[in-house]
Amino acid sequence: TPEVSLMRDYLTGRIEWMKRAKETGRNILYSTIFAECGIDENKLTQTQRNRKREQVKNILEAFKENGYICGFSETKTGRAFTGIAVAI
């Protein structure tokens, strides 16, 4: 879908930026990903939000399998998943 393409493009650019700027943080917030892709997070149902997160994780898993990143993990604030920590 177009949203998945936008998410993949954003993540690719963000990871490239992380690789060049070594002193930067390695966390990417879901809210930032959604905002950059034009997705209004407030209008999503919980199920839709979970599907979008799964799409992000699937993209990152493909990056990991292709050797583009070493790995990733989800970050939490309280009980809510808020973003992704990327290992370059």
List, run by run, the mean pLDDT of 10-residue segments along the chain (88 residues).
93 93 87 94 93 96 95 94 94
Gap between the Cα atoms of 87 and 15, Å rounded:
10
pLDDT for the residue numbered 85: 95
Gap between the Cα atoms of 43 and 7, Å rounded:
18
Q: Which of 12, 26, 25 is nearest to 63 (CA)?
A: 12
**What count of other Cβ atoms lies within 10 Å of the Cβ of residue 69?**
20
Instruction: Name, in order, each residue with C-beta under 8 angstroms of 11's C-beta and a sequence gap of 6 or more.
Output: 28, 33, 56, 59, 60, 63
